[in-house]
């Protein structure tokens, strides 16, 4: 990746959803990054972080699990050893436990996959391999 820092730009033409208004939360802003339409600015910032660290990635690679109740990871990252890593990006630590439970369906199709949750709150990462426990560590990625 070149040394130029690309700043993702959120789309502001979309109004808040009624569900978000009633729940008192802010909807994520769809953001385009390098021609890829992402569901949130947080995801676009993480893609920029991956590019800055020269890590190849695919956005929303495919749905895992049962039809109608599947799970779509935010990113797939291929390690140098060929092993797939699937990354889910979350804004708060409160979202991590639910995301971890939902992600584990990936192991039904790819038992060798590494699962990672990148949490903007505290720049904390959580990771697991099939049959293992989720562990955490702090990294340098910061959501702008």
Q: Is the model's pLDDT at 118 over the cut of 50?
A: yes
Q: In the CATH hierarchy, which top-level class contains the domain 29-138?
A: alpha beta
Q: Is the model's pLDDT at 15 over the cut of 80?
A: no
Query: Measured between alpha carbons, how far is 87 from 110 in angstroms, rounded to an integer?
Result: 14
Q: What is the mean pLDDT of the chain?
A: 83
Instruction: Give me the residue label for tokens 């690309």.
Output: 6
Structural domain boundaries in the chain: 29-138
Query: Measured between alpha carbons, how far is 52 from 54 in angstroms, rounded to an integer?
Result: 5
Q: What is the mean pLDDT of residues 26-46?
A: 87
For residue 61, report the phi and psi dihedrals to the nearest 5 degrees.
-60, -45
Q: What is the pLDDT of residue 141?
A: 65
Q: Is the model's pLDDT at 133 over the cut of 70?
A: yes
Query: Measured between alpha carbons, how far is 9 from 14 in angstroms, rounded to an integer?
Result: 13
Q: What is the pLDDT of residue 21?
A: 43
Q: Is the model's pLDDT at 114 over the cut of 70?
A: yes
Q: Is the model's pLDDT at 25 over the cut of 50?
A: no
At residue 140 the predicted structure's pLDDT band, cuts being 50, 70 and 90, is: low
Cβ(103)–Cβ(117) below 8 Å: yes
Cβ-based neighbours of 125, under 8 Å, separated by 6 or more: 116, 117, 118, 119, 136, 137, 138, 139
Query: Measured between alpha carbons, how far is 114 from 7 in angstroms, rounded to an integer?
Result: 28
Q: Is the model's pLDDT at 44 over the cut of 90?
A: yes
Residue 123: CA count within 13 A, CB half-sphere: 9
pLDDT tens per residue, range 65-113: 988 789 999 999 988 888 899 999 999 999 999 999 999 999 999 999 9
Range list of H helices, 1-140: 18-23, 41-52, 96-103, 106-109
Residue 95: CA count within 13 A, CB half-sphere: 12
């Amino acid at each position: 990746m070149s040394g130029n820092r690309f700043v993702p730009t959120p789309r502001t033409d979309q109004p808040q959803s009624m569900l978000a208004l009633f729940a008192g939360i802010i909807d994520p802003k769809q953001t385009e990054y390098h021609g890829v339409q992402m569901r949130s600015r947080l995801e676009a910032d993480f893609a920029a972080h991956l590019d800055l660290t020269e890590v190849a990635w695919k956005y929303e690679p495919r749905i895992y699990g049962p039809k109608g109740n599947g799970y779509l990871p935010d990113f797939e990252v291929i390690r140098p050893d060929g092993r797939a890593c699937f990354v889910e990006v979350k804004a708060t630590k409160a979202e991590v436990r639910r995301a971890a439970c939902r992600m584990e369906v990936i192991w039904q199709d790819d038992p060798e996959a590494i699962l990672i949750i990148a949490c903007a709150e505290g720049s904390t990462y959580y990771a697991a391999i099939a049959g293992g426990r989720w562990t955490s560590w702090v990294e340098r990625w910061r959501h702008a």
